[in-house]
Amino acid sequence: MSDRRSDRNGFEMRKDLFADERDDDLNEIGKRIRRQDIEGHVTGRSPFYDDHLFDGLLHIRCVRSPHHHARIRRIDTSEADRMEGVVRIVTGRDVPVNLNTLLSLLDFGLDDEPLLSEGKVAYRGEPVAAVIARTEAQARAATRTVRVDWEVLPHVLDVEEALKPGAPTVNETYPGNAFVYHGKYDHQKLRYGDVDRALAEADHVIEGRYQMSPIEQAPIETCGAIAAQEQNGRYVCYTGTQALFFSLGTASKLLELPSSRLHFIGGTVGGGFGGKVDSIHEPLAILGTMLTGQPCKSQWDREEEMQVGAPRGAERWYLTDGVMNDGRIVARKFTGYFDSGAYTRLTSYAVIKCAGHLPGPYTIPNVHADVYCVYTNRTPATAMRGFGITGVDFAIEAHMDKVAETVGLHPVELRILNAYRDGDMKAHRRLAKNCALVECCQVAAQKAGLRLSPDMLAASSKTGGGGPRAELPAHTATDQNGLVEGFSSGSYARKGGAPASPAIVATLPPGASAPASRPAAPAPEPKDPAPRPDAPRADTSPPARKPARSGAMRFSSLSGFRRR
């Protein structure tokens, strides 16, 4: 075709596709663009956080747990106090508010993680004290002389083991080792149609188990921050954070300082990939400065970056597909386990994001998912390049190949057959639009020299969708499996009352008649053009609580809750 353009790397502009939807006013595409910051990069003058020099800079190094799970009986710093160059040793008692969860500012989970742990540790490498010394080498030497009296506890490193009765409690905030969604369930539910009935009627039932390892972001610049006193009662903090206002808010909360006394400077980050949102170094560096009156730097070395820096968490997935002989997928059931490690950080959010992505880019009329955010005695997980999505996509696409093999279709044809078309209803109750998977498959097949059938070549994302495919299922099977007591939904900001000991109270056997309830998936908003189902829904409970605000806060309403 005439309007294909290739550059020498084989990158091709396929302007023949969706030509009528595009006005070609993207003037930068295909042109050589210069980054606005690249002159600083090639001259070595870009100011990374560590490129700010301070006289009398002190260095912070943490004393870390050698155990996966242990109670701290006593921390003896007397020898370290006498080490050369040591200025101050900091423990959890020095942290004004020593409990936080990273997304508390988004109303997304309960405070569950100390800056410096006092009672116990729940992963190897968890910090229990910080040594502040004149040189990095002195700080490092002194950490080795801090004596911690550990009472080693049994640990659990596997997501499914962690959910079994009798497993050690990793995170006391969530005694069942699972994050609590909507103040109600030990997992995030997605219910759409009736998967069990569709599986019973399908020609093939195809099962699979998939799992992904944690992935370290591995930026070339390790995480860190430098803090110093300013002359106006404020603290300046130079940081490599990817999330300046997360870090500002987190420091403000942990240190009980109004954010007006914190002057954060960031913006030049030596690679992030998600690993620089956890806001650990900023509060530590500022606390060091508050306690010593001198500028302080907290910086991971490479080993810490790899060992205690939070990775993308591991995931394990079980998929069951119901498939007809012609390759149509009529049901897809997921059970997923996200390994959050010892604390929540961003995994609660990753699970919500994931549930909204299921069942992948395919129109499947019956979808069921139980997705767990599980606590184990592993390094806490956090953001990393598409976290929540890329892991389950691996499972879905590996499973698609297995399905194709079972029904005797080429994997590309199976994908074209089941791909979203414009106007289709998705399992999270939004209409699909601007779909392009069919066209991507056609181009990929052509590039690979694969001959597609005329039907497949004629398929288009713009035709065949909508109509009955735009309708919600006539009946959605719901349940209350995994109901949890002791938590209540509502705004974290209004958290109050005495803490209770939450416990999993009911796991109904399959088929048991559960009290009617709404599916946990987000309800359609009034402006949603989706037609309402004709059949009455087994739904007599009051409408879902309306979030007080729209936008980002809407997410929080999905899992914002408090302990009763």
Partner 1 sequence: MTKIPVTLTHNGAERAAFADPGQNLLDFIRRGLGDLSPKYGCGQGSCGACTVTIDGETRLACLTLAETVEGCDVRTAAGLGQGATLDPLQQAFMDHFAAQCGYCTPGMLVSARALLDRNPNPTREEVVEAISGNLCRCTGYDPIIDAILSLAGRKASA
Binding status of residue 93 toward partner 1 by CB under 8 A: no
Q: Please list, in sequence order, all residues whose beta carbon lies within 8 angstroms of the beta carbon of residue 225, skipping any fewer than 6 positions away.
A: 49, 237, 238, 239, 240, 241, 247, 281, 282, 284, 285, 297, 298, 299
Binding status of residue 219 toward partner 1 by CB under 8 A: yes
Tally the residues of the chain. 564
The pattern of x and - marking residues 121 through 140 that bind partner 1 according to CB under 8 A reads: --------------x-x---
114, 155, 242 from 111: Cα distances, Å: 9, 22, 21
Segment near partner 1 (CB under 8 A), from 59-67, 268-276, 316-324, 434-442?
Answer: 268-276
Binding status of residue 38 toward partner 1 by CB under 8 A: yes
Binding status of residue 274 toward partner 1 by CB under 8 A: no
**End-to-end Cα distance, the chain:** 65
Other beta carbons less than 10 A from residue 55's beta carbon: 7
Instruction: Pick the binder of partner 1 from 12, 51, 79, 201 (CB under 8 A).
Output: 51
Cβ-contact 74, 154 below 8 angstroms:
no
Helix or strand holding residue 209 (H, E): strand 204-212
Sign of the CA dihedral with 194 first, then 196, 200, and 202 last? positive
Segment near partner 1 (CB under 8 A), from 37-45, 161-169, 192-200, 491-499?
Answer: 37-45
523-562 binders of partner 1 (CB under 8 A): none
Backbone dihedral region for residue 380 (phi beyond 0: left; psi -120 to 50: alpha; all else: beta):
beta
Nearer to partner 1 by Cβ, of 85 and 168: the residue is 85
| 263, two tokens | 């002057």
Binding status of residue 273 toward partner 1 by CB under 8 A: yes
Other beta carbons less than 10 A from residue 373's beta carbon: 32
CA distance 439 to 462: 10
Binding status of residue 507 toward partner 1 by CB under 8 A: no
Instruction: Pick the binder of partner 1 from 218, 244, 431, 443 (CB under 8 A).
Output: 218
Instruction: Pick the binder of partner 1 from 15, 46, 318, 481 (CB under 8 A).
Output: 46
Nearer to partner 1 by Cβ, of 385 and 532: the residue is 385
Angle of helix 437-447 relative to helix 411-418, nearest 10 degrees?
Answer: 160
Binding status of residue 390 toward partner 1 by CB under 8 A: no
Segment near partner 1 (CB under 8 A), from 44-52, 317-325, 441-449, 480-488?
Answer: 44-52
> What stretches of 243-332 show up as alpha helix (H) in DSSP?
244-255, 281-292, 302-307
Binding status of residue 302 toward partner 1 by CB under 8 A: yes
Q: How many residues of this chain interact with partner 1, rule: CB under 8 A?
A: 34
Query: Which residues are 457's β-sheet partners?
Result: none
Binding status of residue 270 toward partner 1 by CB under 8 A: yes
Binding status of residue 39 toward partner 1 by CB under 8 A: yes
Instruction: Pick the binder of partner 1 from 2, 27, 43, 260 (CB under 8 A).
Output: 43
Instruction: Pick the binder of partner 1 from 31, 32, 451, 549 (CB under 8 A).
Output: 32
| 18, two tokens | 């969706």
Instruction: Pick the binder of partner 1 from 26, 29, 33, 498 (CB under 8 A).
Output: 33
Query: Which residues are 70's β-sheet partners?
Result: 121, 152
Binding status of residue 12 toward partner 1 by CB under 8 A: no
Binding status of residue 214 toward partner 1 by CB under 8 A: no
Binding site for partner 1 (CB under 8 A): 9, 32-35, 37-46, 48, 50-51, 53, 135, 137, 218-222, 268-273, 301-302
